[in-house]
Amino acid sequence: MSTDLTLHQRRRPPTTDELRGIPWLRLLQPEERARAAAALLVGEAAPGDYVCRIGKPVTYWFGVVEGLLKMSADNAQGLTMTFAGLPPGGWFGEGTALKREPYRYNIQALRKSVVAGLPIDSFHWLLDHSIGFNRFVMNQLNERLGQFIAAREIDRMNSPDVRVARSLAALFNPALYPGVGEILRITQQELAYLVGLSRQRVNEALAVLEAQQAIRIEYGGLRVLNLSALRSSVSLDKH
């Protein structure tokens, strides 16, 4: 049995609290909201489970309720390139859902996660009937484009400290990941997977950022103190 089928078999209706944490539901009119809530399903992904796989047809538009996912693909040299980490509140794959095309990337759970899915037909119904939903999706596409451009820049950076800073800034994007807030629940190993560095080097970079009062390391996660410093992180190049 594949991990896709296993995750698919775990699907269930969302709880009231889970629905409350879906950011775009509150933008809908009552009839639209009721229709979307009735169609939504959630599944509990174990670490390593694939939510989406390259070449598979799109059946849902997905979002993270709890946990942490990784968006990645293998390049021509067989190396894995990570495009983005996906923390709570993040919805992804709207471009693929819009075009109803096969996935061009993998989405994998880095830890036990709760993933919500809106069936593709319901996604398109909302596009046809809801102004609020259209605005949300357009904003998602715009923010995601900026995120991927930044990811390409990060890949070319030689400074590990700057790579970690910019990657953290992306995870704290309030438009794409409203469920994160000021504290990101992430381990140094998980961050190392997303950034493409060793855990030890990530730990050193976090120490630099904490010394500069851009973040504070807390039990089970990181608190952002200066998001603009993480985004610019120019001074780190001199470290």
Residues 141 and 89 in one domain: yes
Residues 144 and 190 in one domain: no
Same domain, 39 and 99: yes
**Residue, of 107 and 167, whose pLDDT is higher:** 107
pLDDT in tens, 53-89: 999 999 999 999 999 999 988 766 766 777 788 999 9
Query: Looking at residue 174, what is its pLDDT?
Result: 84
Phi then psi for residue 139, to 5 deg, are -65, -40
| Total number of residues shown for the chain | 239
Q: Is the pLDDT of residue 152 over 70?
A: no
Query: Do both 97 and 125 map to the same domain?
Result: yes
Q: Are residues 114 and 37 in the same domain?
A: yes
The residue among 129, 151, 173 that closes a domain is 151
Paired residues of 215 in beta bridges: 224
Q: What is the pLDDT of residue 220?
A: 80
Assess contact for 23 and 178: CB atoms under 8 A: yes
- Per-residue pLDDT band for 28 (boundaries 50, 70, 90) equals very high
Confidence band for 153, pLDDT divided at 50, 70 and 90: low
Residues 6+ away with beta carbon under 8 Å from 172: 180, 184, 224, 227, 230
pLDDT of amino acid 236: 43
Are 71 and 134 in a shared domain?
yes
Q: Both 221 and 128 in a single domain? A: no
d(CA 184, CA 12): 26
pLDDT score recorded for residue 145: 82
Mean pLDDT of 152-181: 81
Read off the CATH number of the domain in which 143 is found.
2.60.120.10
Burial (CB count within 10 angstroms: exposed 0-12, middle 13-18, buried 19+), residue 61: buried
pLDDT > 70: percent of the chain: 88
Average pLDDT of the chain to the nearest whole number: 87
Same domain, 122 and 164: no
Which of 117, 132, 151 is the last residue before a domain boundary?
151
Verify that 167 and 218 share a domain, yes or no.
Answer: yes
What confidence category does residue 234 fall into, taking pLDDT thresholds of 50, 70 and 90?
very low
The pLDDT value recorded for residue 119 is 97
The tokens 């200066």 sit on which residue? 226
Assess whether 104 and 205 both reside in one domain: no
Residue 42 has pLDDT above 60, yes or no: yes
**Same domain assignment for residues 109 and 20:** yes
CATH number (domain holding residue 185): 1.10.10.10
Q: Which residue has the higher pLDDT, 208 or 236?
A: 208
Same domain flag for 141 and 162 = no
pTM of the shown model: 0.82
Domain that holds residue 204: 158-238
Domain boundary among 105, 132, 151: 151
Q: How many domains does the chain have?
A: 2
pLDDT in tens, 103-145: 999 999 999 999 999 999 999 999 999 999 999 999 999 888 8
